[in-house]
Amino acid sequence: MVVNNPRLINLLSEEQKADLASMEKQFAHHLEYTIGKNRYNLKNEDIYKALGHTIRDFLIDRLNFTQERYREQNPKKVFYFSLEFLMGRTLMNALINLGLYETIQEMLRGIGFDLTDVLEFETDAGLGNGGLGRLAACFLDSMATLNVPGFGYGIRYDYGIFNQIIANGSQLEMPDHWDADGVPYEVVRSDISFSVGFFGHTETRVSGKGKIQHDWVPDETVLASAHDYPIPGFNTSTVNYLRLWAAKSSEEFNLDYFNHGDYMKAVQDKSISENISKVLYPNDTTEQGKVLRLKQQYFMVCASLQDILIQFREFKYNLKDLPDFIAIQLNDTHPSIGIAELMRIFLDNEEMDWEPAWEIVTKVFSYTNHTVLPEALESWRVELFEKLLPRHLEIIYEINYRFLTEVRNKGILTESEIQQVSIIEEGNEKRVRMANLAVIGSYRVNGVAALHSDLIQKTIFHAFTKVFPEKFNNKTNGITPRRWLLQSNPNLANLISKKIGNEFTTDLYRLKDLEKFVDDADFQNDWKQVKFTAKNELARIIKSETGITIDPSSLIDVQIKRFHEYKRQLLNILRVIALYRRIKENPNAEVTPRTVVFGGKAAPGYYMAKLIIKLINNVAWVVNRDKDVAERLKVVFIPNYRVSLAEKIIPGSNLSEQISTAGTEASGTSNMKFMLNGALTIGTLDGANVEILEEVGAENIYIFGLHTEEVFRMKEAGYNPTNFIHQNEDLHRILLMIRENFFSMGEPGVFSPIYDSLFYTDNYLLMADFTSYDETQNRVAQDFRDETTWTKKSILNVARSGKFSSDRTIREYAKEIWKVPLLDTIPPQTIYKLPQN
């Protein structure tokens, strides 16, 4: 990857360039005194670390500058609460955003190192599962770039999303000790820590004013200690931060045991408290209800709210003004206990009355919903909740009582609707429904794509829309073009900037200007060349990661995302099997050579998803060894899908698989990454695919399958997959191949759960959509043969992807929900400064 366009990447002024000598000095200083090396025996690893510390100095300068600016101007701030931030790597993003990429590349070349190799040393910060955590990361980049005073708050897990290895076709999970080699950009704020209580009981007293007050007396206390990650904006001096809390045992707690002479117990308990931030829960879209998870949620929220209130109080404002200075966005329900916690602070610590406290709380929080799947909606057993957070449960009961009384009095809901909106789910096991708490306690509630936002209002939140019509709105997701174009695909970014200039980097709609060149043969050729170079690079990576040789000129057809039945990787591999059979039966047929690439992790306890991974690997094993289909079909599963791998795979793709059952994928964001990199989409009318179709036009996308309403109707009428299986002879045969162990000779019967689920239940309607998918894939194969037409469609996909910048999304949140300002950009040169040793 060579960034060779100074206009795009290198934003250094002349004075800065003059100061390069002192940057080299700084780098040499870190190499010698931070890393402890001399100039001999230097490895990429040492260069990476020294460079990390050099860049950290830059980041801290700007971070302090930005904090100073916020202190002076005191604008309203937004705090993005998320249990997940899927950041990936930091160094290259920082170099690009600071405008230092070229400079550093030159500097390293001077000492005989290649920046691209050095960057490979960085381990991904994988503190998230998938789309939800990656969205949070893209939002941080956009907030800093748009000069929004916005900060991320989350947990500093010791272990991020597990590393996936494939053995005998199956997924194995290995621990991801991501910080083992140190994290150079991290700023450990030992001076910022808060105690967080758990368990215990509540007490009642009469206050000085003669009011009945409640107090929570926890019997476990843990410290949350702040670790900051500077977030640089692109081409601006703004550097915000992501603050992640790590659990530390609290001294008061340990002293108890020391006093009783039980030294070993004290030390043991120390490590038990620190378990809170030990590991990210690897579940994507299924809820597990484990107590450690609720502890993590409360831990993060409790520390963050203390931190935010301390910052607010520096200005000596009245708490009733809080909503004028602070907005908190809840990334899904995971941090929604914050609503009850802020009430507890106001009622118990501040001794406020209920009504004014509730008035403030419901203006501060807003909630983003990420799913309509019922198994993903978080709820906690009341019994468990009461043990861990007894005072919060009392407050939730009171919120619920007041809310239900109000809606009953207004008479707008039926008795069955009142049950639906209750925070407490009745039954033999009472549960606390976090989504209901989030809706009732929030100022605004949004879905993440137009279709999804409509759907939540028609289904899970329908009764709520009658009570709070003004709360519901849509904020279609986006991705940051800095990481997903400038960083991942510099050749394409440079080709684009040669044609239309650089403004698209912060105003992605400017890509529209490419449309004028769509028929320009030279431009088409350059475009094809850039894509072909990326495909060659992907072929090289596939070879090194899997040992499989692919044809870089084949149609590279990619499905990379978490494994889940609703995402239907199974539909994709079934169609691969169909194609394989066709080639075998008709060896002389003209077939468009195709490489089908998969990547993604399955939750460790998700049996069916793991079995689908195994089926894909076994099909790959059979197909890739079969001489009859060689040159025409290859199947590749690239292990350990993660952000840094996505950055390498997406630029080399021709076809983006977005094939979820209509009505199940909230938005999707990989669909946007592919579009921005010139891949065409094959997809259902689901999530943001609907808006991609609107933007790009029906001629430039391959849409197939049932629509959401058809899915609902079919399920209501009593869906029977066998009707579809018997209508399609091909489909029937490939299911029989699976049942007859064609792909499991050594382990007969392993795939029968897949066969059975398709034949008897098929919850995600694969059988109903198979024929339409297959025919559409045939059309894709035909169209790919006409290179010029395909290239034009590729150009138009990029030209019309402007809407899907997370800058657009953040502007909408800032204006319509948070009411926070976009401050002026201060060009980075103005504060350019190198620390002096």
Task: State which residue, 488 or 502, has the beta carbon closest to ligand PLP.
Answer: 488
Query: Where on the phi/psi map is residue 714: left (φ > 0), alpha (ψ -120 to 50), or beta?
Result: alpha
Piece of the chain touching ligand PLP by CB under 6 A; list 309-317, 335-343, 639-647, 701-709: 639-647
Kindly tell me the burial class for residue 31, based on how many C-beta atoms sit within 10 Å of its own C-beta (0-12, 13-18, 19 or more): buried
Told to check if 803 binds ligand PLP by CB under 6 A, we report no
Q: Which of 16, 669, 744, 809 is close enough to bind ligand PLP by CB under 6 A? A: 669
Q: Which of 646, 679, 799, 820 is close enough to bind ligand PLP by CB under 6 A? A: 646
Distance of closest approach, residue 505 Cβ to ligand PLP, in angstroms: 20
Rg of the Cα atoms in the chain: 27
Does 567 participate in catalysis according to the annotation?
yes
DSSP 178: T
Angle ∠(284,290,292) on CA atoms, nearest 5 = 100
Single out the catalytic residue among 561, 632, 800, 803.
Answer: 561
How many residues line the site for ligand PLP (CB under 6 A)? 12
Provide the angle, in degrees to the nearest 10, between the axes of the packed helices 766-784 and 729-739. 110
What tokens appear for 329 in the block?
């966005």
DSSP 51: H
Task: State which residue, 391 or 568, has the beta carbon closest to ligand PLP.
Answer: 568
Q: Which residues 581-610 are close enough to bind ligand PLP by CB under 6 A? A: none
SS3 label, residue 627:
coil
d(C-alpha 807, C-alpha 805), whole Å: 5
| SS3 assignment for 732-765 | HHHHHHHHCCCCCCCCCCCCHHHHHHHHHHCCCC
**Cα 696–chain centre separation:** 24
Task: State which residue, 82 or 362, has the beta carbon closest to ligand PLP.
Answer: 82
**Cβ-contact 118, 47 below 8 angstroms:** yes
Residue with tokens 């998870």: 293
**Amino acid letter at 684?**
T
Helix, strand, coil % over all residues of the chain, rounded to 5: 55, 15, 30
Q: Which of 62, 370, 632, 642 is close enough to bind ligand PLP by CB under 6 A? A: 642
d(C-alpha 246, C-alpha 348), whole Å: 26
Residue with tokens 């009622």: 347
Binding mask 253-272 for ligand PLP (x = CB under 6 A): --------------------
Task: State which residue, 273 or 488, has the beta carbon closest to ligand PLP.
Answer: 488
Told to check if 123 binds ligand PLP by CB under 6 A, we report no
Task: State which residue, 464 or 563, has the beta carbon closest to ligand PLP.
Answer: 563
Told to check if 131 binds ligand PLP by CB under 6 A, we report yes
Distance of closest approach, residue 376 Cβ to ligand PLP, in angstroms: 13
Distance of closest approach, residue 313 Cβ to ligand PLP, in angstroms: 38
Single out the catalytic residue among 227, 482, 562, 594.
Answer: 562
Distance of closest approach, residue 625 Cβ to ligand PLP, in angstroms: 29
Told to check if 163 binds ligand PLP by CB under 6 A, we report no
Q: Which of 69, 156, 248, 561 is close enough to bind ligand PLP by CB under 6 A? A: 561
Torsion of the alpha carbons at 787, 788, 792 and 798, rounded to the nearest 10: 40
d(C-alpha 170, C-alpha 755), whole Å: 18
d(C-alpha 431, C-alpha 106), whole Å: 60
Task: State which residue, 176 or 307, has the beta carbon closest to ligand PLP.
Answer: 176
Told to check if 150 binds ligand PLP by CB under 6 A, we report no
Q: Which of 99, 232, 668, 705 is close enough to bind ligand PLP by CB under 6 A? A: 668
Piece of the chain touching ligand PLP by CB under 6 A; list 126-134, 140-148, 340-348, 503-511: 126-134
Task: State which residue, 46 or 657, has the beta carbon closest to ligand PLP.
Answer: 657
**Amino acid letter at 130?**
G
Does 595 participate in catalysis according to the annotation?
no
Does 30 participate in catalysis according to the annotation?
no
Kindly tell me the burial class for residue 557, based on how many C-beta atoms sit within 10 Å of its own C-beta (0-12, 13-18, 19 or more): buried
Told to check if 744 binds ligand PLP by CB under 6 A, we report no
Query: Which residues make Cβ contacts (< 8 Å) with residue 379, sequence separation at least 6?
Result: 287, 289, 425, 431, 432, 433, 434
Told to check if 670 binds ligand PLP by CB under 6 A, we report yes
Distance of closest approach, residue 671 Cβ to ligand PLP, in angstroms: 6
**Cβ-contact 768, 700 below 8 angstroms:** no
Distance of closest approach, residue 647 Cβ to ligand PLP, in angstroms: 8
Task: State which residue, 559 or 777, has the beta carbon closest to ligand PLP.
Answer: 559
Pairing of strands 77-81, 326-331: parallel
Told to check if 683 binds ligand PLP by CB under 6 A, we report no
Query: Which residues make Cβ contacts (< 8 Å) with residue 182, sequence separation at least 6?
Result: 49
Task: State which residue, 389 or 602, has the beta carbon closest to ligand PLP.
Answer: 602
Told to check if 130 binds ligand PLP by CB under 6 A, we report yes
Query: Where on the phi/psi map is residue 289: left (φ > 0), alpha (ψ -120 to 50), or beta?
Result: left
Single out the catalytic residue among 391, 673, 793, 800.
Answer: 673
Distance of closest approach, residue 134 Cβ to ligand PLP, in angstroms: 4
Distance of closest approach, residue 145 Cβ to ligand PLP, in angstroms: 18
**Cβ-contact 517, 785 below 8 angstroms:** no
Distance of closest approach, residue 133 Cβ to ligand PLP, in angstroms: 8
Task: State which residue, 388 or 479, has the beta carbon closest to ligand PLP.
Answer: 479
- Evaluated on CA atoms 436, 440, 445, 450, the torsion sign reads positive
**Cβ-contact 196, 155 below 8 angstroms:** no
d(C-alpha 711, C-alpha 105), whole Å: 53
Told to check if 134 binds ligand PLP by CB under 6 A, we report yes
Does 370 participate in catalysis according to the annotation?
yes
Binding mask 562-581 for ligand PLP (x = CB under 6 A): x-------------------
Told to check if 643 binds ligand PLP by CB under 6 A, we report yes
Distance of closest approach, residue 683 Cβ to ligand PLP, in angstroms: 11
Residues lying near ligand PLP in the complex (CB under 6 A) are found at 130-131, 134, 561-562, 642-643, 646, 668-670, 673
Active-site positions?
A: 370, 561-562, 567, 669, 673
